[in-house]
Every structure is written in structure tokens, then in C-alpha cells.
Structure 1
């Protein structure tokens, strides 16, 4: 077995870099299989809902047919997969049908099949190893490896390093191909949803020193105009959450004006008040009072935890501190686009170690979900990673609304741990 300190990983990455972007994962899997004597290696990418894993292949597509991507629901029937993705801990599963499944996958991909009568190794039996693939807390999917016997510590180290490298490969290669976007789409995407998706950050989760954040958007059947965004500079974290009036393409275009303006002002070095005023002005100029966007903007000093906040008619954030969850008492200014020269007040909040801050859109508070006690649910989920909390909250809202959300349900959770 190769030593983790040897040259195998740089050589693997050089080989992958020489492949076409659409073939990068396949080449990576083949190279890793050779290194660990695996009969099968594949990448299962998490879909946008967070409830499915899609086995990524070069022919990944939706719909029926032999070349349709295999989907695994993260249910009780797929407990090892669900445990691996939610806990971000490697799972090792001994299965009697590992060989049969590996043979079927090999036939579909035109590869040679393993010998079912081959000796699995001294005292060993074939196992499936599920290794989380993540980058800064973003659960991208699982690396699935079928081995002739249970891995020892050295093999675990190799697989952990490979999974980390795969996260970097996917992050780099997804810029050049739609393959990964296809893999993450387990349902048809409308034009409005396509526009909305482009307004969101590339990663919905970020772990960086003093904080961990995660966000989630559960779209309504008739897509609303919700967005969230975040960005880091050398000493500050910027957060925003917006909700454009209306539904479908009209709301998506209105959201585009808001997010585009906020990003442009932020990147020009503007403070929150100027960012808010500029966004309001451009929306009023283009929509002439026929549309508005609510929003909350935050700028967090990473050294002190001091937060500057602008609230443009948006639902109040929730703060969990010392076991209690309460709304942050903010004054509300006009939504963006209501007045041509609106002024916005910068308010202040001081974060303390252990605080959890949750931003919401009104879809999380819609009338169909009125029976859901969000503060109680946040308290109940105090020990969960922000990524897990987001899935619990949005799934709970969707459930109490009977799967018929009247508006997008969006949330962002920030854990402060300096």
C-alpha cells in the first residue's frame, strides 16, 4: 500500500489535470482504484435538495434509460450513505452483494469485471468504504470504494487524502463543464430557478476560523425571489439575505438587480448604508415603484465579533445564546426600491462565543407553516452542524406546508466560535 507521503497523490492529480474536464472524475477513480486495489471506485454527488446522492458518470442525465444517473435517496434504506454524509465520518460496510454491484457497474461503463471467485485477502471479506468529500464544510458527496478487505489505518489515510483531493478536483473542474450541475439536478429546473441559482454563492457552507455558516433555499412550486450571499475579506464577513416581490421570472429578474447591485457596491468597498441605498436606487429606477425587495445586510468584524446590520423591511434574525432563542430587535427601514432616495440606518449587534445567528425569509414564516415553532426547533437542534440545521428547518417548513410552499423558504445559520 502506498505511503501517504509518497508521490502517488501528486502523480494522480497530474494525470487528472491532463484529462478532459468531463472525464476528470472517471480518471481520478481509475487511478485511485489502482493505488488501493479496489474493484470499484465512484463519486456520489449530493443533489441540490440534500436528500439524494447521484452516482456521477460522464453520461449523467435525468429521466429513464440505461444511461440515466443512479440516484440514492438518503433514507433509512440507505443508512450507511446517510450517516456518512450527515456525520461527515467514513463508513465501512461489509456487504454480500458488493461483487455483484461492482460487476454491474463495470459492465455499464465498459470496464473489465472483477473475478467473483478471487480471494478477498487474508481473513478479509469485501467491503464498501464511504468517504465524505467536502471542502470547508460543504458536503459535496461521497467517495465510494469497494475493497477486497477491511482497510487498515494506512488505507484509511490514503482514502481520506484522496477524498480531499477529489473535492479540489470537483471545485476546479466544475468551472468548465455542466457535468456536475447535471448531477446535482434531480428535478427539472425552470428558467426562473436557473436565474435564481446563478445568484447564490457557489458553496452553501463555509468553515473559516471564527465561524461556520450554512444556508439553504427550499424553492416554492412557483419560484419566488429569495437569495442569500456571503463573502470574506481580510478582516470581515459579509452576509446578505433578500426576498424579491412576486414569483417566477419577474421575481428572479428583480432579485438579479438587488444581488448585482449589492455585490458591485461591496466589491467597490462601500459600507452597508451605501450598499443598501445603491440597491434601492437601481431597483426604483428600473421598476418605477412596481417592485421591491426586502433584505438584511450584515458586516461582521472577525476579530471582535461586532456586527453592523441594515434591515430593509425583512423578517428579524433569530439569535440563540445561552440556550435561549430570541428575535434580534432591529429597526426596519423601507424595502429596496420603494423610494428613489431611501436612507438606511446601520445598527449594531455584538456576537459572543457560542452564539448561533439564523437569518430567514418570510417563506419560513408563511401561514401554512404557522404551526411550526422555529425557536423551539432551533433550540432542539443546538448540537447540529449549521448545514444539518438548515436541512432540518427547511424540511420541517416543507412538511407542515404539505409540500406546497407558497413562497421560497430560505435560511442561513452562522455559528460564532472565535
Structure 2
């Protein structure tokens, strides 16, 4: 590394200091704040050429002057003892990521579209952001004047369903917007005229941008309503508001397992919740259901969920988790009865154990075929005698485990015919090759349509795919 001659550096620092409008005392305070330890007199002597300073102190002094010059309009900066690269990239993928990070710092959620547009310019692309509504029927644009996209019939919707990327004949690149593994929406990316949308490097850079943006969408939604309100297609009542705030993300994954969920009616939830927790060794799953829609159902299932989580966080075994939920519900004598399932999947062996409190039995899907997973079914979490005997099964890599609420089987059409387990099994077999969150979304859509869009019960579906033994993926 080549260093600037000491006397040349001193002369230029002194010249820049003269243009900085700082007093000597103010310069010393800035130097001291950077970690400098020399006295005011020593700095004065150095600036006047009467003494020398160690290189580290010269550079701290130069930095103190430059901080001031950055605050005023454009004078030349003081030199360091060696060449220093610009801290911020001027173009390309790193600039796009930096622009997105810095732009989002302390920004309200509704400012994200403008921040994304600025980041896109660093890649010579124009970016449109679409977020999925909470019903997962529509992709809602954040750009004013842009049209909504139907998830089931459009190119953008296809990208969302597959969680993938595609290029249209017109040269538009569509890619899914993820927060980790949870699908939030899609990005519509239009490259500059001389850019190739099929360029794998451009695709990879856009994937980086989408990953960071997805995280920022989730983070900013936690402290502002600007994006949340765009995703809502109609009013969400207080019971539904409480339940949505209690749910985990609709998708979670590790190298060994993927969990996806869907719950309907999205804007009128009343008495059903699900939960999961993933670790290196196991996946822990739960579903709680208060049955037909009634007053107090949301409070009952949230209490059940809280008791389950508290026991799980304490490392309690499956039977003690079940008992903790029962004790919590027993203290709510006027609450509606809550049924459900708690389950645990060993990610090293595929061993599955579950306890059933009056809920439909889990379904196992292997190669598109639904397998029986029968076990004793208790009458409820708070029933006398404690938990029923645990059900056990052994999954193979690629198998699906499906938990669902009573609403999935009991939802009736106008003729009074329930959706039933056979229809559930048929849809699971047909869609087994899809991503778990997409399997769950399609199934709840079919159940909601069967009920004419006016369900008497909530419908929740929790789909888990065991990919491979942990440590071997």
C-alpha cells in the first residue's frame, strides 16, 4: 500500500480545515470523539507544521475535517495517509442493496415503493411490487394506477403459486417476493432495453433484492399500517384481528422440513388457530379449534395456544403440553369446548407422535396416496383421565402430514352435503407435488367455495413435508 507523504497530508488537512468553518476547539472535539488522545496544543502545533503526528492520529484528524466538509457544500476533502475507497458503491447490485437498506432506515412502510424504485435504478431495472392480500386471491400493486392480479389466472399469480421466477415474451422478469420462505407477493422487473432478462447474473441480483425487500416488508408492517392496509380487501373484525396477531407465519422451513398453512375465512376468523416450532431435531405442531362460530371462541383458542406455547417453551414433553392446555381451558368454565391436536415430528428419523383431543385424525400423504393414521381420540383437552394414548407413525422423505380443523370436513354446501374426508384426500393427492403452503391454500379455497363463501366454522389446514433426515439434506 502506498502512503501519502506526511508533509503533503498535513498541508492539505490544514487547507481543508481552513475551509471547514470550524474553530480549533470544535475540530479537537470532533477528533476526540473519534478516539483521539492528543491535546489541543498538539493539534495546533501539527496544523502549523511545528510537530509531527502518528499516522493514526493524522487520519482521525482528516476524518474529523471530512465529517464537517460532508455537512457543507462540496469543498475538496482532506486526504488520508493512504488511498481510501468510497464507502458506498456507486452502481450495481451492492448499491441496490445499500440503497434499499439505507432508504428503509426509519422510513414509514408506505415509502417502500419509492425506495425500491431507487434501488432498481442501480441495476438499470424498473421494479413494481405486488403484495398478496390476506385472502391470497389477489396480488395488490403498490404502484398507483397499476391493476390487481388474480393469483390463479395471471403470470404474476403463477410465479406466486410456484414461489419461482419467469420471463415473459415481452422481456419482463417476474420473481416471487419472500420473507425467508413465506410468500408475500411478487416483483415485476423490467430491465433496460440493452439488458437481457434471461441473464442468470441479473436474475440472481434481483433475487437478492427481493429477499431483502421481503424482510423489510415484514419488519415495517410491524410498526405501521401503510402496507397492511393495502393488503386488506375489507374490514377485519376484532376476533379475527386477535387471532391473526397470534398466528405464526403461514410458511416456515429448515433444511429438513417445510410447513405451510392456510386459514379461512381470512377476514372473519372466529375460533381456530395453528402453531408450529422448528428446530434442528424436531418439528412441533398444533391446531386448536372451537368449532361452530360463537362468542368467546377467539379468547378460548388464544388461551389454549398460549398455554401450549408456554409448555413448549419450557421443554415439556407432548403429554405435558396437552395437560397444560387442558388446565388452561378448565379455568374457563363458560368458554366453548376446544378440540385440537398436538404433534411432534423427529427430523432425524421421521418418527411422528401426536395426541388428539376430539379433532379429525391427521392425514399422511405418500406418493399422492392418503394413508391411514388412526389413533385414540380424546374427548377434549380438559377431559377426565388426561391425554389419550399417543398415535405413532413413521414418515418417509417427501411424505406430507396434514392437520386440519373440523370446519374442513364439516363445511356444507347448500344441499347440506359436507365437504368430507374423501374430498380432502382427493385434493391432497392431486396437489401433493405443490409447495406445502400452496397445498393448504388450494384446499381451503375449495372448502370455502363448497360452503358458498359463508362458512359456519373456520377452516384451518397445516401441511408439513418432511424432506430428509436432519443433517443429510
> For this structure pair, what is the TM-score category when the shorter chain's length is used for normalisation?
0.7 to 0.9
Distance of 2:202 and 2:230 partners within structure 1? 28
Contact (CA 8 Å) 2:237, 2:268: kept in 1 or not? Answer: no
Distance in structure 1 (CA, Å) of the matches to 2:117 and 2:368:
49
Higher mean C-alpha displacement, 252-261 vs 296-305: 296-305
Please say if residues 12 and 28 of structure 1, whose CA atoms lie closer than 8 Å, have aligned partners that are also in contact. Answer: yes
Are residues 204 and 212 of structure 1, via their aligned partners in 2, closer, same or farther at CA, if it must alter by over 3 Å? same
Please give the alpha-carbon distance, in whole angstroms, between the structure 1 residues aligned to 2:180 and 2:410: 32
1: CA distance, partners of 2:368 / 2:236:
40
Q: Report deviation, 1:194.
A: 0.7
TM-score, length-scaled by structure 1:
0.81
| 1:148 maps to 2:148 | no
Retained in 2: the 8 A contact 1:242–1:296? Answer: yes
Q: CA deviation at 1:43?
A: 1.7
Q: Aligned partners of 2:464 and 2:429: how far apart in 1?
A: 14
Distance 1:191 1:319 in 2: 35
What stretches of structure 1 of length at least 5 have no aligned partner? 58-66, 96-126
Which deviations, in whole Å up to 9, do the C-alpha atoms of 1:283-321 show, x marking residues without a partner? 111225x53210100112221221221111110111112
Q: How does 1:254-273 map to 2 (within 5 A)?
A: 254-273=300-319
Does the residue aligned with 2:187 lie in a helix, a strand or coil? strand
Q: What residue in structure 2 maps to residue 351 of structure 1?
A: 395
CA distance in 1, matches of 2:332, 2:432: 43
Q: Distance in 2 between matches of 1:261 and 1:233?
A: 20
> When the two structures are superposed, what TM-score results if normalisation uses the length of structure 2?
0.72
**Residue 164 in structure 1 maps to residue 211 in structure 2:** yes
- Distance in 1 separating the partners of 2:231 and 2:351: 37
Q: 2:327 aligns with which of 268, 278, 281?
A: 281
**Equivalent-residue separation in structure 1 for 2:192 and 2:121 (angstroms):** 13
- Structure 1: distance between partners of 2:341 and 2:105: 44
C-alpha spacing 1:245/1:154, structure 2 compared with 1 (3 Å): closer
- Counterparts of 1:344 and 1:366, CA distance in 2: 23
- Whether the 8 Å CA contact 1:307–1:349 is kept in 2: the answer is yes
Q: SS at 2:331's partner residue?
A: helix
| Shift, 1:323, TM fit | 4.0
Deviation (angstroms), 1:404: 2.3
Per-residue CA deviations over 1:77-122 (Å, capped at 9, x if unaligned) read: xx21112211223233356xxxxxxxxxxxxxxxxxxxxxxxxxxx
Richer in strand (by share): 1
In structure 2, what is the equivalent of residue 236 of structure 1? 282
* Alignment check: 8 A CA contact 1:277 1:344 kept: no
Aligned mates of 2:257, 2:234 — CA distance in 1: 33
The Cα offsets for residues 360-400 of structure 1, whole Å up to 9 and x where unpaired, read as 11111015133662212211122211122112211111222
Is 1:80 aligned to residue 155 of structure 2? yes
For the 8 Å contact 1:220–1:408, the answer to whether it is kept is: no
Equivalent positions of 1:177-256 (< 5 A) are 177-201=224-248, 203-219=249-265, 223-256=269-302
Change (3 A) 1:176 1:334: same
1:55, CA displacement in angstroms?
Answer: 1.9
**CA separation of 1:378/1:187 partners in 2, compared to 1, >3 Å: closer, same or farther?**
same
- Cα distance, 1:331 vs. partner? 0.5
Corresponding residue for 1:53?
A: 139
2:457 maps to which residue?
407
Q: How many residues align?
A: 370
Q: What is the rounded CA distance, in whole Å, between the counterparts of 1:411 and 1:86 in structure 2?
A: 17
Deviation, 1:322, is 4.1
- Give me the whole-angstrom Cα distance separating, in 2, the residues matched to 1:71 and 1:250: 36
How far 1:413 sits from its partner (Å)?
Answer: 0.9
Q: Does 1:362 align with 2:437?
A: no
Aligned Cα root-mean-square deviation (Å): 2.5
Larger radius of gyration: 2
Counterpart in the other structure of 2:128: 42
CA distance in 1: counterparts of 2:424 and 2:218, whole angstroms: 34
Seen in structure 2, the aligned counterparts of structure 1 residues 325 and 158 have a Cα distance that, compared at 3 Å, is: same
Q: In structure 2, do the counterparts of structure 1 residues 277 and 73 end up closer, same or farther at CA, with 3 Å as the change threshold?
A: same
Distance 1:415 1:35, change over 3 A: same
For residue 292 of structure 1, the aligned residue among 322, 334, 337 is 337
State whether residues 226 and 255 of structure 1, in contact with CA within 8 Å, keep that contact through their aligned partners in structure 2. yes
RCO comparison, higher one (Cα < 8 Å, 6+):
1
- Residue 356 of structure 1 deviates from its aligned partner by 1.1
